């Protein structure tokens, strides 16, 4: 989801960003004009992102990449990350990095969450699992100040990247009937509501729309909307290897080690080698 400080947006007469260009404008405004109120006038960075090698960089890049019109593969399954759209998306990510805390090229979710919770950054992409932390007085300096919205767009509408937690019955199971009974029970609306009350986001629309749960978790409507427009990671058994390689080059570009063009060209060549080895 897209996280942002609604109090700072109101203070600087900014609207919830619908496009990545609006994110960049807001990041620049906040970075140049805002301090966090701490002794010495600590800086508030307009944006914070994960760009550590591997999954971290890829997870934060994909919503930008898709919004700019990029795609990892063409119709024949060949990599296309170094398209003009892909290179433009990475250049934008690097530009956004100018308004992120120093060292963001090695950040993962913990560093991003810490900056948001401490009030030293104003916007980010992050997983919904972090939402409850912002209401926890033992962790958060921004209670009541965070808003959770939809992914910004560009050439294409904004779409969140999702992975999946899956449950299945092994083919060789000797208890398939009992296992199926369990799956049906565990994913029923009643059990999913009980799980949600204990902090696990549901996957059923009816549970997301349950008035009791919405009262307890006000972000649920935004979460549901984000899920409904989301896009899964590319469906390939080689994804772990591809994501790790892609993330290395994205991180190197964000650290200044490679240009956006070189990073995407090298990433495309490496992904192609992975696909060839996997045949």
Per-residue pLDDT of the chain (279 residues; tens, 9 = 90+): 999 999 999 999 999 999 999 999 999 999 999 876 554 457 899 999 999 999 999 999 999 999 999 999 999 999 999 999 999 999 999 999 999 999 999 999 999 999 999 999 999 998 888 888 999 999 999 999 999 999 999 999 999 998 877 889 999 999 999 999 999 999 999 999 999 999 888 989 999 999 999 999 999 999 999 999 999 988 899 999 999 999 999 999 999 999 999 999 999 999 999 999 988
Pair (200, 257) in one structural domain: no
Domain-embedded: residue 10: yes
What does the alpha-carbon distance between residue 88 and residue 93 come to, in Å, rounded to a whole number?
9
Pair (86, 120) in one structural domain: yes
Pair (212, 241) in one structural domain: no
Rg of the chain taking only CA atoms, in angstroms: 20
Pair (148, 63) in one structural domain: yes
Pair (139, 21) in one structural domain: yes
As to burial, measured by CB atoms within 10 angstroms (0-12 exposed, 13-18 middle, 19+ buried), residue 25 is middle
Domain-embedded: residue 253: yes
Domain-embedded: residue 12: yes
Pair (157, 80) in one structural domain: yes
Domain-embedded: residue 171: no
Assess contact for 165 and 22: CB atoms under 8 A: no
Strand 123-125 with 2-5, pairing? antiparallel
Domain count, the chain: 2
Pair (218, 244) in one structural domain: no
Assess contact for 119 and 144: CB atoms under 8 A: no
Domain-embedded: residue 27: yes
Q: Show the domain range for 195.
A: 176-232
Pair (13, 147) in one structural domain: yes
Pair (49, 92) in one structural domain: yes
pTM: 0.91
Domain-embedded: residue 139: yes
Assess contact for 238 and 271: CB atoms under 8 A: no
Of the residues 232, 248, 268, the one at which a domain ends = 232
Read off φ and ψ for residue 137, nearest 5 degrees: -60, -25
What does the alpha-carbon distance between residue 238 and residue 245 come to, in Å, rounded to a whole number?
11
Domain-embedded: residue 189: yes
Domain-embedded: residue 181: yes
């Amino acid at each position: 989801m897209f996280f942002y400080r609604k109090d700072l947006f109101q203070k600087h007469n900014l609207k919830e960003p619908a496009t990545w260009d609006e994110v960049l404008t807001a990041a620049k405004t906040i970075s140049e004009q805002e301090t966090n109120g701490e002794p010495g006038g600590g800086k508030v960075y307009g944006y914070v992102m994960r760009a550590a090698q591997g999954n971290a960089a890829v997870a934060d890049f994909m919503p930008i990449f898709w919004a700019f019109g990029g795609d990892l593969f063409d119709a024949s399954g060949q990599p296309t990350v170094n398209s003009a759209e892909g290179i433009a998306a990475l250049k934008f990510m690097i530009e956004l990095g100018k308004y992120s805390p120093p060292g963001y090229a090695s950040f993962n979710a913990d560093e991003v969450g810490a900056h948001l919770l401490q009030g030293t950054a104003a916007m980010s992409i992050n997983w919904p699992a972090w939402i409850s932390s912002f209401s926890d007085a033992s962790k958060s300096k921004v209670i009541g100040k965070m808003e959770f919205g939809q992914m910004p767009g560009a050439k294409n509408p904004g779409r969140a990247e999702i992975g999946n937690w899956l449950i299945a019955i092994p083919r060789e199971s000797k208890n398939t009937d009992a296992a199926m009974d369990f799956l049906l029970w565990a994913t029923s609306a009643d059990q999913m509501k009980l799980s949600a009350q204990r902090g696990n986001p549901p996957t059923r629309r009816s549970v997301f729309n349950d008035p009791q749960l919405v009262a307890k978790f006000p972000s649920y409507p935004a979460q549901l909307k984000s899920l409904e427009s989301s896009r899964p990671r590319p469906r390939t058994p080689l994804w772990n290897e591809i994501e790790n390689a892609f993330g290395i080059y994205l991180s190197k570009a964000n650290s200044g080690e490679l240009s956006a063009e070189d990073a995407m060209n090298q990433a495309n060549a490496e992904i192609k080698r992975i696909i060839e080895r996997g045949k």
